[in-house]
Chains A and B, each alone.
Chain A
Amino acid sequence: MFFFILRRMLVAIPILLASSFLMFFLVTISGDPLADLRQSQNPNVDQLIAARRQRLNLDQGFFERYIDWLSGIIRGDFGQNREGQDVSALLGDAMTTTFRLVILATLLSIVIGIVVGIVTAVRQYSIIDYSSTFAAFLFFSLPVFWVAVLLKEFGAIKFNDFLEAPGLSPAGIAILSIIPAILAFGLTPGARRRRLFAGAVTGLVFLVGLVIIDATDWMLNPGLSPLVVTLVSLAVGVGAAALFAPLENRRVVAAGVVTALVGVVGSLAFSSWIEDPTWTQLLLLFVLSLVTGAVVGSVIGGVIDRRAAVSTGMWATIGVGLVVVFDQFISAWEPDRTIATIGPQTPNLTGPFWVRMIDYAGHQILPSLALALIGFATFMRFTRASMLETLKSDYVRTAKAKGLPATQVIMRHAFRTALIPVMTVITISVATIIEGAVITERVFAWQGMGSLFIDGLNDVDPYPVMGFLLVTSIVLIFMNAVADILYAYIDPRIRR
């Protein structure tokens, strides 16, 4: 296995060299770095051209310049751009920005893509399947810059306008209730009557909820009262229990409920931390709550149900934590045009932790979404196809015939096998997402790798472009190696 990996890595080196040579060549012939001076009316234009030629080593031939760059790279020096700024510093800033965008977008598209993929495979030819497929193909074929402009128009400008004076029309309430009703109808298994019932209940819940939200101006002044936090936490506790054992199992349910209550009490005890935490405090709280959940679970679960109870306890605290965080988050919300169209954050941002988090989130959401839509379609279609194939296989039918619960068959038996081809697609799709990020960054004014590349090319300035090339190719080669390794790990036949 080690030599397999090593071989993959060694193969990458000549590829990198060749591509860097080609790229350097292409950038240097892509235009005239003196073009702006040649159009100048300045009487000193000859001396200015002379100065730039000297400074940028334009008096040297292409090979000399390439060797110069390459020897710099070997020494760890990325060189300087046309204005004398260090490419390594530019790269550092750009990488942070781009990876912040790409990582979240990738995670979002993977999670949503796989979940929707599974659901559509399990409910093949349902309304959910058709609408998701339609959406996936729509997103796949839309140009990302156009999606970005639409997202800004409706997701930011119009939505912010709406939040400044929120008010739902009866028609709006109806639409917002009917959509979840249809989703519930599509998701629910079983006979038509049962599905209609589920749809009707969901629709009604949303209808009542939205009417109350609208009537109380909650959107102007969002927040959860302690009572609501407690109630939701209890529901979360019960929900967590349902994940690991039948609800008839009183011990596990009790573990969930007690953990939830302990969590609520704990959140009150640590309220000063929670209201304006640092990252360390937040991490400590996370660990503390996980431990608490595990302890409560193991105490209540007894010997037989200990495993399920511990899991329930841990998931319940995570759930309660999310509820508490959500409460802080929306309480910090001000109807102050939070959804942004440009930049990774508001300039000179100060303020309490949650205000800053809201600001980051408000800036991150639209570009991440625009980028995630690219990957979503691929992941969803691949997961769906792969799941359908495994669901039809003999061993899955056997598992069902044994009487295993449906979730267990889908998640534990079918999904794991279905994940193999999806895994390789994920690692390779990162290339598409980085590629999409070049455009997305520009439209959303995030100064990342994309602008480094574009600006370098416009200035006929090879060094920043080469920096871009190096970093992205290394990421891609790394991801490809990861794909190879994962594939070899999952499927021994490939190892040879």
Chain B
Amino acid sequence: MNTTRRGSTKLLAIAAATALVVAACGSDDDDADTGGGDTETTTDDGAETTDGEDTTDDTAGEGGATGEAIAYGNAQEFSNYNNNLGTSNSVKNSIVLNEVQPSPYNFAGPTGALELDTELMDSVEIVSEDPLTIEYVVNADAVWSDGEPIDCDDFLLQYYANNGLYVQLDDAGEPLIDEETEAEVFLFDLVGTTGYDQMDGAPACSDDGKTITVTYAAPFADWQSVFGGQVPAHVIEREAGVDDLLAAFEADDREAIEAIAETYNTLYTVNPGEINPDTMLSGGRLAIGSWEAGASVTLVPNEAYWGTPAAGDVVVRLIAEEAQAQALANGEISAMDPQPSVDLIGQLEGIDGVTVETGNQYIWEHFDFNFNSDIWDDILVREAFAKCLPRQQMVEALIQPVNPEAEVLNNRWIQPFEDGYQDNSNGVSELDLEAAQALLDESGIAQPVPVRLGWFDNGGNQRRTDQVALTIESCNQIGFEITDAGSETFFDVELAAGDWDIAMFAWAGSPLKSGAVSTYQLGSGNNVGNIDIPEMEPLLEELLVTPDPQAQIDLANQIDILLWENLATIPVFSFPGVVAYSDDVSNVTYNPSQNGLTWNASEWSRA
């Protein structure tokens, strides 16, 4: 009895305390000053005062940074300020560096086409077509954030680091040879020598260093793609302990060049969160303000910038793609562009106050014939396959739920959203099972024709699994007997070994036309199906050396028509892309290129 009575007294005490807490609603007081709590203390954006001419948007005229930073979600953490290294070259870095480093041309706008940065460059002109000679004139006011001018040194460092002329030596002073590939190992860590190795010696500099003249030994179609994402040469020079970077290269001073290469390769390889304001300079509208390891990189307006100042701070937050939609819904990020899926689109469209835009990417799916396999010797058999391949059905069932505008891709060189796209297929790959059967019969091949369909099957790609199922279901109705030869080692083993009859995979393209040439050239490693079309080879060669954009388009379409006439491969669709942003943010624009959404991050502003 006693115990229970005490229990109940306690209960009343607790209830009374609860009541008091709950009744504490008078509320009011002492939060008057918390308003100042999390306002961003953004410093005004630099020396430029309001520029009357500035018509792009008016937030830049308000003396900058109204409201809080705009956050963008990305799934991988920034790792290296030098994104031209083969080791670190990645979208996760270009997302941060797009507007930090100077690039004469940027992949801009909704088509991702190369566009001249008119604030960095006064002009870029083709001064001669034979030999192809380009004159770059850098804006006289263009400086790195430490005050050093952006000039010839920076261009030349890119040339020397990427031309592939310098290789690692072994202890005996002989070039080091890798056993497996039997290739030499570059001294500078690089992504590719394309463009630079076609230059006829080092570019020439004017006395003031602001004019750079590049002469190509052979014309290079995509000359606009070089000199992007520059790192400050004077910093490399200083950190390498070299007196004169250019003199070292000109004198071919091996010791100094090795010191430069070492610095170039490793100076910016830092652990997460370590930013060095003295070496990670800005030569663009934005500068790296801070880096919280494992969480975010904050881009702030570059105070030394000479042109249109950035609208405000941009925070690149590290968020796995599957977590981004809810972060957007909760206002923690304002923009995102993950790999889309049907579920994701549905989820995004369910969020209030968010705009969702879908489009195409430069990545496209295709089926390749293996010409080493004698099944395909007769074009009639290839045409029969093209007519049983349910391309329209794949697009409707698998792609349109994500991108309603998606259509069947009928061009291997030009994407539907680019200038010059045309349907070159001549209807050769329109689903028609009767015609397909007739073609097979006409070819006289023994039926059923056994076909191994090879693809990269890691068990996690439902879309590709469905594509294979659709293909088998359709083509096995006529005289084909297609088997699913998907494998987890497809790219490492089967593809190169030719262990397939039909391969299904995707190419990652770009607005640059010359990059895809090697895919169709006989003898090239990328020509996995061993495509051999003699009349196409000179056209491919010509495309490599044609800088004129319209001529490129014409050539690309001519080549594509030949590829269709010979039915070498069958393109299916462009991968869909998506961007979602909250409605209070303006100037976020879809960009299909690999540089990602932040191509114009300096213009993002709160509406």
Contact = CB atoms under 8 A, between A and B. Distances in A.
B319 A445 contact: yes
Interface in A227-257: 227-228, 231-232, 235-236, 238-239, 242, 246-247
A336 B182 CA distance: 60
Closest 9 CB pairs of A and B: A447-B294, A209-B22, A50-B178, A89-B271, A228-B24, A347-B296, A235-B17, A46-B183, A50-B183
A39 B363 CA distance: 13
B331 A331 contact: no
A98 to B, nearest CB: 10
- Which of under 10, 10 to 19, 20 to 34, or 35 or more describes the interface residues of B? 35 or more
Given A332-B37, A447-B293, A44 B330 contact: no
A259 to B, nearest CB: 16
A160 to B, nearest CB: 6
Contacts of B579: none
7 contacts: A50-B181, A55-B87, A85-B272, A190-B4, A190-B8, A347-B69, A348-B69
A52 B24 contact: no
Nearest to B189: A51
B298 A347 contact: yes
B396 to A, nearest CB: 28
A264 interface: no
Contacts of B331: 160, 337
B320 A443 contact: yes
Contacts of A55: 87
A336 B330 CA distance: 10
Contact of B14 (A52, A84, A190, A239): A239
A222 B22 CA distance: 11
A235 B16 contact: yes
A90 B515 contact: no
B34 A49 contact: no
B387 to A, nearest CB: 29
Interface string B64-82: 0000010101000101100
A332 B516 CA distance: 58
A342 B9 contact: no
Given A41-B516, A53-B181, A201 B269 contact: no
A126 to B, nearest CB: 15
B213 interface: no
A216 B37 contact: no
B27 A223 contact: yes
A446 B554 CA distance: 50
A331 B23 contact: no
Given A157-B330, A189-B4, A224-B24, A348 B298 contact: yes
A38 B176 contact: no
Contact of A247 (B9, B37, B269): B9
Interface string B5-37: 011111101111111111111111111001111
Contacts of B491: 32, 35, 38-39
Contact of A51 (B24, B86, B193, B293): B86
A279 B40 CA distance: 24
A435 interface: no
B496 interface: yes
A76 interface: no
A332 B31 contact: yes
Contact of B292 (A43, A201, A222, A347): A347
Interface stretch (B52-60, B134-142, B518-526): B518-526
Interface string A189-210: 1100010001001100110111
A221 interface: yes
Contacts of B24: 224-225, 228, 232
B242 to A, nearest CB: 22
Contacts of A212: 22-23, 25
B159 to A, nearest CB: 16
A39 B505 CA distance: 10
A347 B71 contact: yes
Interface stretch (B276-284, B321-329, B376-384): B321-329
Interface in B343-385: none
B37 A352 contact: yes
Contacts of B80: 83
Given A42-B192, A89-B272, A347-B298, A341 B323 contact: yes
A347 B183 contact: no
Given A83-B88, A347-B298, A447-B77, A342 B317 contact: yes
A41 B519 contact: yes
A242 B10 CA distance: 7
Contacts of A347: 69, 71, 292, 295-296, 298, 315, 317
B86 A157 contact: no
A389 interface: no
Given A32-B492, A347-B295, A53 B30 contact: no
Interface stretch (A7-15, A111-119, A148-156, A281-289): A148-156
Given A55-B87, A189-B7, A85 B270 contact: yes
A403 B347 CA distance: 62
A51 B186 contact: yes
Interface in A43-93: 43-55, 59, 82-86, 89-90, 93
A332 B320 contact: no
A52 B185 CA distance: 9
Q: Which of A206, A224, A350, A442 has the most CB of B within 10 A?
A: A224
Given A54-B178, A97-B294, A205 B329 contact: no
B361 to A, nearest CB: 16
A133 interface: no
Contact of B290 (A190, A232, A348): A348
Contacts of A90: 271-272
Contacts of B526: 41
B38 interface: yes
A406 interface: yes
A355 interface: yes
B320 to A, nearest CB: 5
B27 A225 contact: yes
Given A32-B491, A83-B79, 11 more contacts: A39-B491, A42-B192, A44-B194, A49-B180, A198-B11, A213-B22, A222-B31, A228-B20, A239-B17, A334-B35, A445-B327
A405 B330 contact: no
B290 A341 contact: no
B226 to A, nearest CB: 14
A239 B317 CA distance: 46
A218 interface: yes
A166 interface: no
Interface string B170-199: 000000101111111110011111100000
Contacts of B9: 242, 247
A209 B23 contact: yes
B330 A152 contact: yes
Contact of A445 (B6, B182, B269, B318): B318
A349 B317 CA distance: 14
A236 B17 contact: yes
B266 to A, nearest CB: 7
A482 B224 CA distance: 64
A231 B20 contact: yes
Interface string A96-134: 010000000000000000000000000000000000000
A336 B332 CA distance: 11
Contacts of A190: 4, 8
A208 to B, nearest CB: 8
A45 B191 CA distance: 9
A49 B181 contact: yes
Contacts of A355: 34, 37-38
A149 B322 CA distance: 10
B153 to A, nearest CB: 25
B11 A188 contact: yes
B317 A54 contact: no
A221 B30 CA distance: 10
Given A189-B4, A337-B330, A84 B87 contact: yes
Contacts of B31: 221-223, 331-333
Contacts of B38: 334, 336, 346, 349-351, 355, 359
